[in-house]
Structure 1
């Protein structure tokens, strides 16, 4: 695969889930303002110049280096791909049919990515000198281990003769790889116990005890923790979001790194519900635990466990 010569380049910016490695960097060089290829560096900022918050500890430009550390399972990988045409305005070459493709190589296999438009562009745009083509990548992280974002860029390069006629053209392609590791954000441990019931033995109750531990490097806020039961059962929260006549909702728990929190649910069998669902080895299927949280930077995360079961009486 032929490598393109300068001044063509590709840069990536905007990893919004991992902020420890943010640094101030402009994707394009800064020629004199009198130059035809001058681009305002403010276009690389995530907000308008002059709106910076002096108390905000991070730089206003988010960049994605070739190796940027860890992401967390349950969160969404998100970044912007920028293909910049750095030719001078009077160059004897023309760039057209620019196309960006990306795929995520996860431990379970390769996943083609559907890129979203970051600006108004045509399917095969002609990126003029000093302009850029931007695409947004989003990928839900669902497994631990090494991930690789593979980016392919292709474009047509046409040489213009002195009489402004296209004399020759060729297609150029190149590929860049960006690696990171997806780690577990929350450690979940569960325990199912039978609860005493004043009703007949046919109507059973269970207590679901859950221990959550923050395995991330930063603080997270738990938004919702629910237990989604099979139709045979119904679930009642015994946590901060419990609804009682003499109890008001408390604020969502905030967990610092390595903090542990205990939560519980009461699972009651419905009197008019369908029959219990049983696994091949004779265990009763109760339901699934669903957890939603937000990081200290506002990114959302979601985790769902497998089916929780218990032995038949």
Structure 2
């Protein structure tokens, strides 16, 4: 491919750059009309309705095949539309086509180009300094610079070839700038710039959804293919941020089938079809250690990022890394209340003990505490009440420690009932913790 230069001044130059993009070839598609077998015309489908005619079919086919055999080199009009082999109907003659232009260039690919600088004059040029670089809106990247080791000479009608590579990491307009500084036949020093412009597009889009279920975070990633070629996902892995652990969730039949057929060393790539094909990935994230929830996250809740690698139909590789994926804000807990033991049998109007555990999730000492059942819940339901003193006093709880205690309760209604409204009050910080725990119990009438 030739590029833009210096207008009329370029015609006076002895040298010129020619650029060809190096990428995997494409399959050549035969544009000839649909080919046919002469037997399809000579023998109709109703031939099988007549048993006598059908019995002569093998002889007719053998005679027709003998007469239809032609020289493969015969390029006559008649031979062009005949099926010489069953695969001819596919329209793929088995030829590969090299790229005729830059084509579509996508983010994450490796741009590889074969550059030839030709001497079209009748005399030799000497001391050629060649420079090739990629210019984007943000930066300029040097791909080749022979300033320290110039090309000694390029003879008349000769050329100098080289290959450059660049990992495409930016979207938008790119310019491949090729320059040559040389001495012509009159020993005059000349400067030749040429520019080759192309656009880098996004091959795919990644949409994410984050859902929190108690202490577990679920991340759904939807990948959509925007290219004109099928993409085969070799790897779509989520790299969690600090304090997070991740598990990729798959359907049970899918993971079992592939583990048996492919083993653990080989993963079959996932096909995402061209022109808007999509595929969804689901990840389960949890805090990597019990104390990770206590780590104060400054700013946003960063979950991690996706590493995506793929190949096209003929194996052209690509790789992308998403930006940090941010989850829902972390609601930092200071205390937690767990049920340690509940009696298996609870009788109506008879006291019972519930063993609870108060956990301090902070780095400081909390308490003393007061514990009671909120009055609103008692007035609404009155199914489970405190038996005895309405307020229980607890001592201090050290950092990252816990304290066990028992509530003396009594049930006033039989059946399935709820123990709710347990309130914990910090008498030092004057802070109330509501709705820490809800329990369901079954109350027997006898």
* TM-score, length-scaled by structure 2: 0.50
C-alpha change, 1:308 and 1:273, in structure 2 (3 Å) is farther
**What is the aligned partner in structure 1 of residue 12 from structure 2?**
5
**What is the aligned partner in structure 1 of residue 312 from structure 2?**
295
Q: Can you list the C-alpha shifts for 1:129-150, whole angstroms capped at 9, x where unaligned? A: 3432222222222222122212
Does the 8 A contact of 2:181 with 2:189 survive in 1?
A: yes
Pair 1:185 & 2:203 matched: yes
Q: Can you list the C-alpha shifts for 1:249-284, whole angstroms capped at 9, x where unaligned? A: 56211122111101111112112776747242xx32
Aligned residues: 250
Q: Can you list the C-alpha shifts for 1:34-76, whole angstroms capped at 9, x where unaligned? A: xxxxxxxxxxxxxxxxxxx9613414xx454xxx453111112
Q: Distance in 2 between matches of 1:273 and 1:193?
A: 21
**Which structure's relative contact order is higher, taking Cα pairs within 8 Å and 6+ residues apart?**
1
C-alpha change, 1:243 and 1:156, in structure 2 (3 Å) is farther
Does the 8 A contact of 2:174 with 2:197 survive in 1?
A: yes
Q: 1:80 aligns with which of 90, 97, 114?
A: 114
Q: Can you list the C-alpha shifts for 1:141-198, whole angstroms capped at 9, x where unaligned? A: 2222122212112211134xxxxxxxxx1111111111111111011001111234xx
**What is the aligned partner in structure 1 of residue 285 from structure 2?**
267
**What is the aligned partner in structure 2 of residue 115 from structure 1?**
144
User: How big is the shift at 1:18?
Assistant: 9.0
Q: Distance in 2 between matches of 1:269 and 1:236?
A: 12
Does the 8 A contact of 1:277 with 1:285 survive in 2?
A: no
Q: Distance in 2 between matches of 1:19 and 1:148?
A: 25
> Equivalent residues in 2 for 1:204-215 (5 A)?
204-215=215-226
> Equivalent residues in 2 for 1:170-181 (5 A)?
170-181=188-199
Q: 2:129 aligns with which of 96, 99, 111?
A: 99
Pair 1:220 & 2:250 matched: no
The alignment yields a C-alpha RMSD, in angstroms, of 3.3
Does the 8 A contact of 2:133 with 2:144 survive in 1?
A: no
4+ residue runs over 4 A deviation: 17-20, 242-247, 272-277
Q: 2:301 aligns with which of 267, 275, 284?
A: 284
Q: Is the radius of gyration larger for structure 1 or structure 2? A: 2
3-state SS of 1:289 partner = strand
**What is the aligned partner in structure 1 of residue 178 from structure 2?**
151
Pair 1:233 & 2:244 matched: yes
**What is the aligned partner in structure 1 of residue 270 from structure 2?**
253
* TM-score, length-scaled by structure 1: 0.69
Pair 1:306 & 2:340 matched: no
C-alpha change, 1:296 and 1:273, in structure 2 (3 Å) is farther
Q: Which has the higher helix share?
A: 2
Q: Distance in 2 between matches of 1:260 and 1:143?
A: 23
Pick which of 143-152 and 11-20 moved more.
11-20
Q: Which runs of 5+ in 2 are unaligned?
A: 1-5, 28-91, 332-446
Q: Which runs of 5+ in 1 are unaligned?
A: 21-52, 160-168, 197-203
Does the 8 A contact of 1:116 with 1:137 survive in 2?
A: no
Q: 2:168 aligns with which of 141, 162, 171?
A: 141
Does the 8 A contact of 1:290 with 1:304 survive in 2?
A: yes
3-state SS of 2:228 partner = coil
C-alpha change, 1:276 and 1:224, in structure 2 (3 Å) is farther
User: How big is the shift at 1:215?
Assistant: 0.4
3-state SS of 1:113 partner = strand
3-state SS of 1:74 partner = coil
Q: Distance in 2 between matches of 1:174 and 1:84?
A: 12
Q: Distance in 2 between matches of 1:125 and 1:239?
A: 61
